[in-house]
A = this chain, B = another copy of it.
Amino acid sequence: MARAQLDSLDYKILHTLSSNGRKPYLEIARECGVSGAAIHQRIQKLTAMGVLKGSECLIDAASVGYDTCAYIGFFLKDPSKFDEVVERLREIPEVVEVHFTTGQYDMFIKLYARNNDHLLHLIHEELQALGLARTESLISFKEVFKRQLPIHQRNKD
């Protein structure tokens, strides 16, 4: 997706919703000095353009039983199987991000596991079966912070 042509009201809406996905449109409208219907129409436009891709709640991982977060980089034994590997990664619910990267690895993923045993299980039973070579894991023992992209009123070109 290319850079979208957005004005300052669009940015204000995105900035607002990025920190509170449930903020009422009317409240945003009051903060921006426009009508509620205007916000509603902008949000429909941003969604249709693919700039806004839904909303989700933030859940504390440890509270729901995921104590381990890890990043794993790897090369594939058979690089022609990229797409197939992606599809199989999609079926492993613990895998929450998949990137194609430059340099050090072919692919780089983020996953959550219940504990270290579960992580080992995921790596040995689920991931190795996909045909990986040279796997490297990086275990996060503390996520110090996590936040959204910076959305400015006016982004410079």
Chain A residues at the B interface, C-beta cutoff of 8 Å: 1-4, 6, 11, 14, 17-22, 49-66, 69, 71, 73, 86, 90, 93-94, 96-105, 108, 112, 114, 136-151, 155, 157
What is the copy number of this chain in the assembly?
2
- How far, in angstroms, from A20 to B54 measured CA to CA in the complex? 7
If the complex has contacts A54-B57, A63-B51, A65-B3, are A21 and B22 also in contact, measured as CB distance less than 8 A?
Answer: yes
Q: Which B residues lie within 8 Å of A105 (CB)?
A: 138
Q: Which B residues lie within 8 Å of A151 (CB)?
A: 59, 64
Contact B2 A62 (CB under 8 A): yes
Q: In the complex, which of the residues B69, B99, B112, B145 contacts A143, with contact meaning CB atoms closer than 8 Å?
A: B99
Contact B63 A4 (CB under 8 A): yes
Chain B nearest CB from A83 CB (Å) reads 10
